[in-house]
Structure 1
Amino acid sequence: MVNVERTFTLHHPLPDVVAYLADFSHAQEWDPGTVSCRPVKAGDPVAKGAEWLNVSMFRGRRTELRYQLVRREEQRLIFVGRNRTATSTDDIAFREKDGATLLTYRARIDFHGLARLASPFLRREFERLGDEVAHRMPQAVDRHFSFGGGSID
């Protein structure tokens, strides 16, 4: 198992940030490993139980995970992605701070089978990816709200 955690501030109102990040198809904008991410069923609402097919590149290899939004609350989102090699959990917590949003991003990767043996060797790579998320996510949120994303009701 590998755990990564980053906390940073987004200079947008909490409800808007939560609504943007609840749509996991936006992961390709803020997650450095994501190549594509699309809803399993086009047109389905972004609600608990919604699913996305995520294609990522990790250490030069393509991998696919099927993610599900397992928890959606005013101040917390949890996505769980699975394939035969790993289970990945993205746990995103939000707190309002002076009109901005303090975000804590936690990623947990549980490897299955023989892949478990590699987890200690992959920790550094996942820490690097966590640093990139902390850099890219604020930029993606800023772009979204600067270029027509607007406030989400």
Structure 2
Amino acid sequence: MVAVRRSFTVDRPVEAVLGYLADFGNTREWDPGTESCTRLDEGPIRVGSRWHNVSRFRGRTTELSYRLVRHEPARLTFVGENRTVTATDDITLSARGDRTEIVYDARLRFKGVARLVAPLLKGEFERLADGVERTLPAVLGAS
């Protein structure tokens, strides 16, 4: 398994941050690896909502089916899967006055022979997490 964590504060209230991040389709705006992320269902975003995510990693395109598995006032959890990996994005929000502290935990559990190369990919996932830490506050500041 590969795990990365980033913590940072943005100049937006928790409710606004939660509303924006609950729509996983917005990842194309703040996740440097995401090329597209399309909602697969309709209606209000809720536990069970699904997205088709296309990302580029190490020069290759990968597709995952994501679903929202936790939607609480201060926490969101998305799980994405394909035949080689299960990705879990767990986002915790804490009010800091009018600001919001975001703790972003991403865990990737590789399947089959892909498990053997997982430790070699940690540095690449750290770089992607650095990109999220730079981009997400800028996007939230502009929204």
Instruction: Report the Cα offset of residue 143 of structure 1.
Output: 2.0
Instruction: Tell me how large the CA RMSD over aligned residues is.
Output: 0.7
1:2-151 to structure 2, matched below 5 A, reads 2-41=2-41, 43-144=42-143
Instruction: Report the Cα offset of residue 36 of structure 1.
Output: 0.1
How many Å separate the matches in 2 of 1:123 and 1:40?
30
Secondary structure in 1 matching 2:35: strand
Q: Which runs of 5+ in 2 are unaligned?
A: none
Aligned residues: 143
Instruction: Report the Cα offset of residue 40 of structure 1.
Output: 0.8
How many Å separate the matches in 2 of 1:141 and 1:51?
23
TM-score relative to the length of structure 1 = 0.92
Instruction: Report the Cα offset of residue 141 of structure 1.
Output: 1.2
Instruction: Report the Cα offset of residue 55 of structure 1.
Output: 0.2
Deviations 1:69-114 (A, max 9, x none): 0000000000000000000000000000021000000000000000
| 1:71 maps to amino acid | R
| 1:37 maps to amino acid | C
Q: Which runs of 5+ in 1 are unaligned?
A: 145-153
How many Å separate the matches in 2 of 1:141 and 1:35?
19
Structure 1 consecutive aligned stretches of length 4 or more whose deviation exceeds 2 Å: none
Aligned-residue sequence identity (percent) comes to 50
